[in-house]
Amino acid sequence: MKCPQCNHEESAVVDSREAEEGGTIRRRRECVKCKFRFTTYERLEHPRLMVIKKDGSRELFDRGKIAGGIYKAFYKRPVAASAIEKMLDEIEREVYEANRDEIASGEVGELVMRHIERLDQVAYIRFAAVYREFADLDTFKTEIQKLITKSHNQGRISTK
């Protein structure tokens, strides 16, 4: 593993432990040349999964692409990065548990929306605005009203 500090190609593992409920191995490494310490993660490689886009084209499932959209939705929200990463792990696990070669982008989007809604309602609205391509304020108002009604029914927010 190349050192991110000096680009030397040799490093030693100084600590190794399971992360993300055993789905990942976290390794603490030290460069043998400059002694810089850094962390790497080892994940199970999943079989190829194709995402069918709205226009019928196909592309490989990319956790990073989903993560980018999710992190934008959570920008400046009081949610720990570890909680977001855990949510990403759950989404990825659910996508692969379907045991299919292909999945519609709409299915992935709705799965992401359900997970975000549970974690943060503002991030949910932000993500929904982009994902569902809100065209005007009425669309926002309708989606927010649905969220308010759902939250009231679940006793999650007050009317103050």
Express each pLDDT in 118-138 by its tens digit.
Answer: 999 999 999 988 888 888 888
pLDDT at position 104, please? 93
**31 and 105, same domain (yes or no):** no
Domain assignment present for residue 105? The answer is: yes
- Quick one: 99 and 139 in the same domain? yes
What backbone torsions phi and psi does residue 43 show, to the nearest 5 degrees? -120, 155
Per-residue model confidence (pLDDT) at position 155 = 66
Residue 7 DSSP label: -
Query: Residue 19: is its pLDDT beyond 80?
Result: no
Range of the domain at 25: 11-43
Residue 110, CA distances (Å) to 11, 41, 46, 117 in order: 42, 28, 21, 10
pLDDT of residue 99: 81
Please check whether residues 16 and 67 belong to one and the same domain: no
Q: What is the pLDDT of residues 86-100, one digit of tens each?
A: 999 999 989 988 888
Q: Is residue 5 part of a domain?
A: no
Distance CA 102, CA 61 (A): 9
Domain count, the chain: 2
pLDDT, residue 160, reads: 43
Residue 61 and residue 133 in one domain: yes
Same domain (yes/no): 65, 132: yes
Q: Mind listing the pLDDT tens digit for each residue in 31-83?
A: 999 999 999 988 776 678 899 999 999 999 999 999 999 999 999 999 999 99
Give 140's pLDDT tier (boundaries 50, 70, 90). confident
Which residues lie below 8 Å from residue 112, measured CB to CB, with a gap of 6+? 66, 69, 70, 91, 127, 131
Query: Do 38 and 99 reside in the same domain of the chain?
Result: no
